[in-house]
Every structure is written in C-alpha cells, then in structure tokens.
Chain A
C-alpha cells in the first residue's frame, strides 16, 4: 500500500523512536507507517468512523477537534506534531500552529497551495472558486475554510517568530523545485520549530 506522497515524505523524515502526535490522523495510515519504523505515534481525529477504523488497526487515537482539544496535551508531550492537509480546515490556523509548537518542539504542517498556477488561472479566467484535485469540493460545502498559499504560510510563521527548518514542495505528487514554488507547488510540507 503506497502512502500519499506528502505522508511518505513525513514518514521518511521522522526519526525512529520519536514520539509523534498526528493531528487529523484519518484512519491511521501515516501512523501505521510511523509505527512500522519504531515511532511512538498517537493520533487525534474528529470523525468517529475514522477513529474506529484506526483503533481497530491497533492505533492509539483520540476522537477530538484540533480547534479545541489540543489544549488537553501537556507542553512538550511529543517530539513532533503532524498536521497534514488539515490546517486550512481549522477555525484559527494561527492558534493551531501555536498549539502544535507548544506540545512539540517541531511540527510538520502540510497544505494545498492556493496560489498554484492552475488555481490562479481558474480564478483569473473562470472567475469562480477553483475546484481541483487537492481541493475537490465546491465553495459552499468545502471544509477548507482558510485557503492558504505558500507565501501566506511563510508570512505567518515569520510573524510568529517560528523557524522553518525544511520545506518540501510537491507538484503532481512529485517533488518540485523551491524556485517559483509559489506558482508551481500544488502542495507544500513545512517542518517548523520553535525559534
């Protein structure tokens, strides 16, 4: 079973024996890959069907809401927090990023880049909110309530004094160069840490 490319990058970058919280862990796919390499992975997931599926495969997952329930974890409870494809669905992405770096010194944050050229073109020519492979739902029913671009995220972490340790840009599920990533990346993964 092949992991989604962004998850594969994260699974590869987490060192074995690290303690990890996967926020929005879905049915535990990434956690399974992490545990296979010896990572102590735990999850937080809002959808009870996903939580049930993850527990049924032997994962430690708590049903909860990233907007609220990260507060229950103590400071430095983990080595890494992971928020993949979830940032844009949170009520206050800035506060969630702050929480991630409270419960762990480092965090992986991945999100679809709303400034990808295809989205820009769709908006420019179509004049309508783009529906793409990574953002496949119409504006009125999308869970993605805070669309964000690579540049926006860089601005946010800079303003909060957060350090960017590493960035991966993906286009069509393949790595793409950092040059002109704002246009060319469909998808970005940031490894951030406390300054």
Chain B
C-alpha cells in the first residue's frame, strides 16, 4: 500500500524501472536518476515505443559523466506516468477497466515515496546520489527533504523548489487543451477508438515552446517558410516553426498518455517544498545538512530561471548544508540540461566525486 499526500492511498503499486552498471558488494554505488515530466526509465537504453536512444544517453553509460562502470544507475518511471508504472491507465482491480480520472491525484512527494519503496524492495538503503533535471530536480529536492539519511549527494539541474504562477499557467493551458478535446471523454477514452490526441498535441506544442529560448527559436527557425517560397494566405503551417511544433505535438501522442499528462503536470503544480514549513524553504532542508548539493541553472532557461536555483542555495546555506551552484551559459533554454553542454558533463562528474 502506498499512502498519498492527498490522504488517499493506492492499495498496490507497480513501478517500472531500468538499471545500468553493477551494484557493488556493499551496495554503496547506487545512483538514482529522476526523469522529467514526459521522460521515462529508459535513460540510457533505446525507447521501446520510438526506438530512439535513451533520453540521457549522452550523460549515462560506460566512461560517461555518470559512469556505469562505476555506478549502479537506477531510473524508475514516475508514479502517474504511462511507461509501466501505476497511473491513470492502470486497471481498477475491482472492474478490470482503466482507472482514468478515478486514479488519485498524486504529488512529487508521492513519486519519491514510491521510489523509496522500490529501493527498499531492491535492498538499497543509501544512495551515492540522486540526480534530476526539471521535474527530476524537484524529485531530487524532495528526496533530500524527505529522506535525507538515504542519500549522500543531490544534483538538481534546471529546476525549482516550487512551481511559479507562470509555470502553473502554462500547465493549465495544456490541461485545458486535453480536456477540451471531445475525444477525451471525461478521461474514459481507453476502451474507445478515440483518444484526445489533438488536445495532447496542443498541450505538447505549448509546453515545447517553454523548453526553448527565444534566441534558440530565432536561430533555428527565424521567419523561414516551410517547403514553400511564398505565404499561402491560409492556415497551413507556412512557417517552419509551425511545422516543427505540429510534428513535435503529434510525435508526442505516439508515446504518451493524455491522462498521465494531466496527473503529472498537476503534481508539479502542487509542488512547493516550503509549503509545510510556513513558507520557509530552509525548513525543508533542516535534516539535510549532511547531503552534498549541486545545483545548476542555465542562463537562457526562463521556465525555471536562475533565481529559483539561487533561492534553494540560500535556503541550503542557511542550514549549513554544503551546496554548490553555477549558472551555465547555453543557448537552448530549459532543454539545455538534455543537450550538448560540455561544462555540464564536467560538473555532473565532479559532483559525483569523479573526474571527467
């Protein structure tokens, strides 16, 4: 049974996970990687649905910054998602039909509680490190706040300790796009031939813009037209950026469940580590003095800007925790944490106690 922050509970929970590299004899080399909103456990292996390489294959593997010759890397699909872990598509044990909106609303803390249960199951008491970018960074912070004795190091990349009004606003646009799609059918679309792919695609398009920087968009697309020399004076995808976003939106619906998107975005919106401590973020880290933190932000990330990382650093300094922080310069906006930023590779390795 998994108790949830909402007061509800899940009678049984399935968590799907992948691991890379060997666990050593004293079980001290485990590194947990927490994935972002639409990520999954396939951090360094090909995605079974798309066939694409793992989402952080550039960072995780033998001889890479998170070196699987040295570390036993675990990545679990978050609670509420759709790649094998319990979520809204999970069947109701009573009826056998997918739960849909009967699945309880979950939080980042619930995701982390489920991961802790997975580690109990695997017999791993203490992690060498927990690492995550974006929503993965939120889970990493929740790990440090809720289970400080179970991790030695925490690496939080392009993340925040709370969702801002702007963050919530963008998520709400995405959710409304899904729920306004007639094919959503109140969330009970699983048995039908129709699924809210249009709504989910629009949600993804809106979100995708927030992951990129304006300069990056301008450089990549500018005002260039898509496979045509003149404007159509219609509503086709005249501009390359339109065509790109439509493609991104559609491709996303092949691998992601619309209800899972609703639940996970909600979990992120509810995230505010300071909330249980009268708004004092330092209160969340009172037990985490002995965790070594490394925080990284990117100068072009306007979704989780540097000020959010600085706020975390200030809270950590006020409790005396060892914290490192740097704002890296990279052109790719929020997505920088997934892309080729060589300084990030060195930082991640150093924060893990390796040299890269």
A interface list, Cβ under 8 A from B: 40, 42, 48-49, 51-53, 55-64, 72-74, 77
Contact = CB atoms under 8 A, between A and B. Distances in A.
A140 B340 CA distance: 37
Nearest to B321: A60
Contacts of A52: 326, 328, 343, 346-347
Given A48-B328, A52-B346, A60 B323 contact: yes
B294 A62 contact: no
B178 interface: no
B347 A72 contact: no
Q: When A and B form their complex, which 3 residue pairs have the shortest distance between CB atoms, in order from nearest?
A: A56-B350, A56-B346, A51-B326
7 contacts: A51-B325, A55-B347, A56-B356, A60-B292, A62-B324, A63-B327, A72-B313
Contacts of B313: 62, 72
Contact of A57 (B292, B314, B355): B355
Given A56-B346, A73-B317, A48 B329 contact: yes
Interface string B307-328: 0000001100110101111111
B353 interface: yes
A194 B39 CA distance: 53
A49 B322 CA distance: 20
B343 A62 contact: no
Given A56-B355, A56-B356, A60-B322, A74 B317 contact: yes
A49 to B, nearest CB: 8
A179 B157 CA distance: 53
B326 A55 contact: yes
B314 A60 contact: no
A46 to B, nearest CB: 11
A149 to B, nearest CB: 33
A74 B318 contact: yes
A109 to B, nearest CB: 21
B99 interface: no
B34 interface: no
B351 interface: yes
A77 B314 CA distance: 13
Interface string B114-142: 00000000000000000000000000000
